Amino acid sequence: MAKVKSIYVCQNCGYENPKWYGKCPQCGEWDTMQEEVRSSEKPKAQAGGIGGGTRGVAQKLSEIETVGEHRYQTGLSEFDRVLGGGIVKGSVVLLTGDPGIGKSTILLQVCQTLGKEEKVLYASGEESPHQIKLRADRLGVTSENLSIMCETDVELIVETIRSQKPDIVIIDSIQTMMLSELSSSAGSITQVRECTNMLLRAAKGLDIPVIIVGHVNKDGNIAGPKVLEHIVDTVLYFEGEKNYSYRILRAAKNRFGSTNEIGVFEMMDLGLRQVENPSKMMLEGRPANSSGSCVACVMEGMRPILAEVQGLATSSNFGNPRRMANGYDFNRLNVILAVLEKRGGYYFSNMDVYLNVIGGIKLFEPAADLSVALSLVSSLKEAVVPDDVLAFGEIGLAGEVRSVGFCEQRVKEAIRLGFHKIIIPKDNLRHLSKETLASAEIIGVQYISQAFQAAL
Ligand code: TYD
Ligand code: MG
């Protein structure tokens, strides 16, 4: 007979111990150890050949047949782009993001195109069939080949997969799924891990791609063990700001493509719309000829995106002037202000300084430094940076403008959106092709003072 023992598992990191601790010895979190009852009998089919491999037999690399990877197109090219060109057969994709960001919405929309040719099984443990139907009606999803299954028992889902043999399976969400042989509750580390493992074996065994929705916890990590990220083939993060309608899809891991691509969407009242021209969206409604504004170009993955940086410097009524940065690093703002004072002779010490990046985008890249400096000086001097001027470059502590990567892509994007005068680091000039150099006025600058001269 199988022995039963009790074990304590940290719900944050997966650490296991026969003894209970108030504070997890591994991750240091308090009150995360939960009791689980384990049988000494191993869960069925823990090990096995994956994806057609013969069990226990090693094959020579040269003897393994090359099979062209088959990818399903989802009809949302931004989604396909992030996946590296579509959903690969037999792959397991984890889609994660904050609650309400649009994970269920995007997957239901994907079902519409996929369902034209392929059989899709959408297993939901979160919503009732009526709720899903309502949403599908709103999104215009009418696909005949789409089956909805509202179930939380993974074994039943896997059984259905085996009997119905769908071409694609969607699981929404893994935190609601349960394996009845485990004693812990749904959403616990063990449940999440074992359910994923079970789905993974089914996916690899039957060569069916599975998209799994995962929630994130309050720190923004995938709720459940970190091991989940190791198990699956692809991890996608769906991100967005609460007050803005645009959403960015990113790959954090991809066994079948690069992680440099991003997809941009906008949440509308009838679902998500692809945004093929994010820069245009970011620059919409820009005031003409106003001081304190300059356009920056940052890379999001392999994609250059333009964003407007606004600076405002007003005389301060307090002994300690205020500094505020929205969408830009606060400490970096202080560094730029110090450099402007010491190396440029622009004094902000009795000024309140506010910096805002329009559109809710965050400029983490140092390449945004130059446009930040320009918008601040523009506000201080009440001088306008003309509307068709764009600047990028990293600012060093000596007041020098240092080169940045992907110069050609940035300049091309700026030209495409109608910018005529582009201020870039001098060292970057030699990386530009002749055609690019000829298609706009491109000014290479070595020090911040040269940039101010050129722009203001
Ligand atoms: P949902 O896909 O349910 O989020 P998740 O599965 O990631 O938790 O998205 C829900 C949000 O999206 C909800 O707050 C309303 C909004 N939404 C729209 O704005 N338009 C739509 O057409 C739909 C379906 C949802
Ligand atoms: Mg959902």
Q: Is 131 in the pocket of ligand 1 (CB under 6 A)?
A: no
Within 10 angstroms of residue 34's Cβ, the number of other Cβ atoms is 16
Q: What is the pLDDT of residue 226?
A: 62
CA distance 304 to 283: 13
pLDDT (average), residues 408-433 = 94
Q: Which ligand is nearest to the CA of 96?
A: 1
Bridging pattern class, strands 146-150 and 246-254: unpaired
Within 10 angstroms of residue 56's Cβ, the number of other Cβ atoms is 7
- Fold held by 281-455: Ribosomal Protein S5; domain 2 (3.30.230)
For residue 359, name the pLDDT band (cuts at 50, 70, 90).
confident
Q: What is the pLDDT of residue 308?
A: 94
Inform me whether the pLDDT recorded for 94 exceeds 90.
yes
Q: pLDDT: is 271 or 221 the higher one?
A: 271
Q: Which of 79, 105, 243 to mutate to test the pocket of ligand 1 (most atoms within 8 A of CB)?
A: 105
* Ligand 1 closest atom vs CA 269: 20
Angle at 432 between CA 428 and CA 434, to 5 degrees: 145
pLDDT (average), residues 284-293 = 90
Bridging pattern class, strands 389-391 and 351-357: unpaired
Inform me whether the pLDDT recorded for 201 exceeds 60.
yes
Inform me whether the pLDDT recorded for 219 exceeds 50.
yes
For residue 1, name the pLDDT band (cuts at 50, 70, 90).
low
Q: Is 267 in the pocket of ligand 1 (CB under 6 A)?
A: yes
Inform me whether the pLDDT recorded for 374 exceeds 90.
yes
Inform me whether the pLDDT recorded for 402 exceeds 50.
yes
Inform me whether the pLDDT recorded for 53 exceeds 70.
no
In the chain, DSSP finds a helix count (H) and a strand count (E) of 12, 23
CA of 132 to the centre of ligand 2 (A): 10
pLDDT (average), residues 321-341 = 95
CA distance 263 to 386: 31
Q: Is 271 in the pocket of ligand 1 (CB under 6 A)?
A: yes
Q: Is the dihedral of CA 215, 220, 225, 227 positive or negative?
A: positive
Q: Is 124 in the pocket of ligand 1 (CB under 6 A)?
A: no
Q: Which ligand is nearest to the CA of 102?
A: 1
Is there a cis peptide before residue 291, judged by omega within 30 degrees of 0?
no
Q: What is the pLDDT of residue 45?
A: 47
Q: What is the pLDDT of residue 40?
A: 64
- Per-residue burial over 273-297, b if 16 or more Cβ lie within 10 Å, else e, is bebeebbebbbeeeeeeebbbbbbb
DSSP 202: H
- For 224, how many CA atoms within 13 A lie in the half-sphere containing its CB? 28
Q: Whose CA is nearest to atom 10 of ligand 1?
A: 100
Q: What is the pLDDT of residue 265?
A: 93
Q: Is the dihedral of CA 152, 183, 49, 16 positive or negative?
A: positive
Per residue in 152-180, pLDDT (tens digit) is 999 999 999 999 999 999 999 898 999 98
Q: What is the pLDDT of residue 10?
A: 83
CA of 101 to the centre of ligand 1 (A): 6
CA of 142 to the centre of ligand 1 (A): 18
163: Cβ contacts below 8 Å, ≥ 6 apart: none
Inform me whether the pLDDT recorded for 408 exceeds 90.
yes
- Fold held by 70-276: Rossmann fold (3.40.50)
Q: Is 242 in the pocket of ligand 1 (CB under 6 A)?
A: no
Q: Is 138 in the pocket of ligand 1 (CB under 6 A)?
A: yes
Q: Is 101 in the pocket of ligand 1 (CB under 6 A)?
A: yes
Q: Is 100 in the pocket of ligand 1 (CB under 6 A)?
A: yes
What's the mean per-residue pLDDT of the chain? Answer: 88
Q: What percent of the chain has pLDDT over 90?
A: 56
Q: What is the pLDDT of residue 136?
A: 93
Inform me whether the pLDDT recorded for 222 exceeds 50.
yes
Inform me whether the pLDDT recorded for 47 exceeds 60.
no
Inform me whether the pLDDT recorded for 382 exceeds 80.
yes
* Spans of all domains in the chain: 4-39, 70-276, 281-455
Q: Whose CA is nearest to atom 18 of ligand 1?
A: 269
For residue 446, name the pLDDT band (cuts at 50, 70, 90).
very high
- Residue identified by tokens 């060292």 is 427
137: Cβ contacts below 8 Å, ≥ 6 apart: none
Q: pLDDT: is 29 or 48 the higher one?
A: 29
Inform me whether the pLDDT recorded for 296 exceeds 90.
yes
Q: Is 96 in the pocket of ligand 1 (CB under 6 A)?
A: no
CA 416 to chain centre: 25
Q: Which ligand is nearest to the CA of 272?
A: 1
Q: Whole-model pTM?
A: 0.80
Q: What is the pLDDT of residue 48?
A: 55
Q: What is the pLDDT of residue 302?
A: 83
Q: What is the pLDDT of residue 120?
A: 94
Per residue in 228-284, pLDDT (tens digit) is 888 899 999 998 877 788 899 999 899 988 888 889 999 998 899 999 888 888 888
| Encoded tokens for 374 | 């320009």
- The residue ranges of DSSP E strands in 159-261, in sequence order, are 168-172, 210-215, 234-240, 246-254
